[in-house]
């Protein structure tokens, strides 16, 4: 017991040393103990000189890449228009193509330059343009931009923006066309109407003067926009709703109507990696019936709209919607989902093999810590029994899959190894007033007498307790707050 107490006392001393040192505490908040033990570098401890050199080289490359990304942000879109009716008429399937690209360079803290260009080919005609914008931040509330473009829209101009208040912004733009010498002036006022909505009014003076009133609303699931333009007698509005089925897949419904457009779009997408998303959409409107395939990776987009029919035929429109939808659900059920389940299972098995020795060592340390807490925990429990107070009768911590209300889903060695009994440490943490509180945002595996029985897996804490002769139970996530007793936990 003396040896166990010495080990745990050393842990307490280390924790006190970190929390009492402001710099160490900041490092710990961001990187954890690994950041302190390996010189602010995440990863395993390195013993050999070769390993140290490789790790330092990896960190150097990562910092260089992060620095380059921060100062160099490319974005671009490739749009390939395909037409099935045109192909059936023998004129080829390619209807047109458009490309656009833009690169942002952070020249200094106050100066940014953006260089871009676009190219469009439509049947026998086409055009291109190139542009450059230099932005200078005059102050924390105002900026100025110098613009120039060549090609279809050859012009030079200057634009200044200023925040009038916390929720209002004004922009003034003056530009001269190099093709016909005309001068265009525009004033735009933007006002934040709520946390998710804003409105704008634009006054445009030039060869085609107009006044535009617009409104936009965007939150996590839905976005909507509307615009009314007086002077060219045009108006338009659009809305789209996105629902996330899981962390990797989502569905989307969108609609657009106005003086020049009327269409409805339905589809969905799936995240195939940390940086890539694929999406398929079905569009029906006055321009015809379309399938649209999209690939998004970082700031790059590859979009392929396919015109299926220029005529709005109900039977054809229904078939064009049902065929890809049915194909998607069949592929998801019989190909995609089994593949991902198999991959996750393989990763879990590999993770268990790698961490099995570490978990076994942590379990032994937790059991020793519980032995150290046993005497005081029993004394606190007996005191609560005498006053008919809070008594922890059963507490399990571990894998969310292995835990269920009331205990394990199945009693077998594999699932039992992913769960640890923490009844003793929780009884130890009950205070004299008969309450137990675990703070929010603190990983529970760091509590004395706990350990992480399944690294990398989502974990929960299940607690069954009695208070005042009544039975209660509660299950909370790994980082969630636990405050007992509570009437809502009554069985």
Identify which of 134, 136, 187 has the alpha carbon closest to the alpha carbon of residue 156.
134
Q: What share of the chain is helix, strand, coil (3-state, %, to 5)?
A: 30, 45, 25
The count of C-alpha atoms lying within 13 angstroms of the C-alpha of 489, restricted to the half-sphere facing its C-beta, is: 21
Mean pLDDT of 68-85: 82
Contact (CB, 8 A) for 77 and 303: yes
Instruction: Quote the tokens at residue 202.
Output: 């634009």
Contacts of 62 (CB under 8 A, 6+ apart): none
In angstroms, the CA 453 to CA 461 distance is 12
* 414 pLDDT tier (thresholds 50, 70, 90): low
Other Cβ atoms less than 10 A from the Cβ of 342: the count is: 10
Q: What is the pLDDT of residues 270-315, one digit of tens each?
A: 888 878 999 999 999 998 999 999 999 988 999 999 999 998 888 9
For the cut 50, the answer to whether the pLDDT of residue 42 exceeds it is: no
Q: What is the pLDDT of residues 131-187, one digit of tens each?
A: 999 999 999 899 999 999 998 889 999 999 999 998 999 999 999 998 888 999 999
Percent of the chain with pLDDT over 90: 44
CA 30 vs CA 5, 14, 359: distances in Å: 29, 17, 24
- pLDDT top residue among 34 and 379: 379
Largest CA distance in the chain: 95
Identify which of 278, 281, 283 has the alpha carbon closest to the alpha carbon of residue 325.
281
Mean pLDDT of 203-231: 86
For the cut 90, the answer to whether the pLDDT of residue 450 exceeds it is: yes
Secondary structure of residue 139 in the 3-state scheme: coil
Least confident of 65-74, 164-173, 250-259, 476-485: 65-74
Q: Is the peptide bond before 485 cis (omega within 30 degrees of 0)?
A: yes
Q: What is the pLDDT of residue 484?
A: 94
Contacts of 46 (CB under 8 A, 6+ apart): 38, 52, 55
**To which H or E segment does residue 360 belong?**
helix 337-386
Instruction: Quote the tokens at residue 4.
Output: 């166990």
CA 167 vs CA 162, 163, 242, 422: distances in Å: 11, 8, 27, 51
In angstroms, the CA 400 to CA 413 distance is 16
Mean pLDDT of 432-449: 89
Q: What is the pLDDT of residue 45?
A: 47
Q: What is the pLDDT of residue 46?
A: 47
Q: What is the pLDDT of residues 321-352, one digit of tens each?
A: 999 889 888 888 888 888 888 888 888 788 77
Q: What is the pLDDT of residue 264?
A: 93
Mean pLDDT of 100-108: 88
Q: What is the pLDDT of residue 78?
A: 94
Q: What is the pLDDT of residue 44?
A: 46
Contact (CB, 8 A) for 187 and 175: no
* 43 pLDDT tier (thresholds 50, 70, 90): very low
CA 367 vs CA 372, 373, 391, 426: distances in Å: 9, 10, 20, 14
Identify which of 103, 85, 106 has the alpha carbon closest to the alpha carbon of residue 95.
85
* 38 pLDDT tier (thresholds 50, 70, 90): low
For the cut 50, the answer to whether the pLDDT of residue 40 exceeds it is: no
* 482 pLDDT tier (thresholds 50, 70, 90): very high
Mean pLDDT of 351-371: 86
Q: What is the pLDDT of residue 413?
A: 53
Q: Average pLDDT of the chain?
A: 85
Q: Give the relative orientation of helices 22-31 and 2-20 as an angle to the nearest 10 degrees.
A: 100
Q: What is the pLDDT of residue 20?
A: 87
Angle CA(213)–CA(115)–CA(105) in degrees, nearest 5? 105
Q: What is the pLDDT of residue 397?
A: 94
In angstroms, the CA 445 to CA 456 distance is 12
Among 22-36, 128-142, 211-225, top mean pLDDT goes to: 128-142
């Amino acid at each position: 017991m003396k040896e166990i107490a010495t080990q745990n006392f050393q842990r307490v001393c280390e924790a006190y040393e970190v929390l009492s040192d402001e710099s160490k505490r900041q490092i710990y908040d961001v990187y954890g103990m690994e950041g302190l033990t390996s010189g602010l570098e995440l990863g395993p401890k390195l013993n050999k000189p070769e390993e140290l050199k490789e790790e330092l080289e990896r960190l150097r490359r990562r910092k260089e890449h992060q620095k380059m990304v921060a100062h160099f942000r490319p974005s671009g879109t490739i749009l390939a228009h395909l037409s099935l009716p045109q192909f059936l008429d023998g004129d080829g399937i390619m209807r047109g193509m458009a490309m656009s690209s833009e690169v942002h360079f952070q020249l200094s803290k106050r100066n940014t330059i953006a260089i871009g260009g676009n190219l469009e080919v439509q049947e026998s005609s086409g055009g291109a343009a190139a542009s450059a914008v230099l932005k200078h931040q005059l102050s924390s509330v105002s900026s100025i931009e110098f613009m120039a473009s060549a090609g279809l829209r050859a012009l030079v101009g200057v634009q200044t923006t200023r925040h009038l208040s916390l929720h209002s912004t004004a922009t003034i733009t003056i530009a001269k066309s190099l093709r016909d010498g005309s001068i265009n002036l525009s004033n735009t006022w933007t006002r934040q109407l709520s946390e998710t909505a804003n409105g704008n009014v634009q006054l445009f003076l030039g060869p085609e003067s107009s006044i535009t009133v617009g409104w936009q609303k965007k939150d996590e699931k839905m976005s909507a926009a509307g615009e009314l333009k007086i002077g060219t007698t045009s108006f338009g509005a659009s809305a789209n709703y996105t629902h996330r089925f899981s962390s990797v897949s989502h569905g989307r419904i969108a609609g657009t109507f106005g003086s020049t457009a009327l269409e409805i779009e339905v589809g969905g997408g799936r995240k195939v990696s940390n940086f890539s998303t694929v999406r398929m959409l079905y569009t029906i409107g006055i321009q015809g019936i379309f399938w649209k395939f999209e690939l998004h990776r970082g700031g790059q987009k590859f979009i392929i709209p396919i015109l299926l029919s220029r005529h709005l035929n109900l039977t054809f429109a229904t078939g064009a919607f049902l065929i890809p939808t049915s194909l998607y659900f069949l592929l998801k059920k019989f190909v995609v989902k089994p593949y991902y389940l198999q991959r996750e299972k393989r990763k879990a098995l590999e993770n268990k093999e790698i961490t099995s020795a570490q978990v076994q060592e942590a379990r032994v340390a937790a059991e020793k810590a519980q032995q150290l807490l046993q005497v005081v925990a029993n004394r606190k429990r007996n005191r609560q029994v005498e006053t008919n107070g809070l008594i922890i009768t059963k507490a399990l911590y571990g894998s969310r899959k292995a835990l269920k209300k009331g205990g394990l889903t199945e009693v077998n060695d594999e699932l039992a190894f992913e769960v640890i009994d923490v009844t003793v440490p929780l009884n130890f943490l009950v205070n004299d007033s008969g309450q137990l509180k675990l703070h929010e945002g603190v990983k529970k595996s760091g509590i004395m007498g706990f350990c992480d029985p399944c690294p990398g897996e989502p974990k929960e804490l299940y607690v069954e307790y009695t208070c005042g002769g009544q039975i209660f139970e509660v299950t909370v996530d790994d980082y969630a707050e636990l405050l007992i007793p509570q009437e809502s936990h009554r069985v």
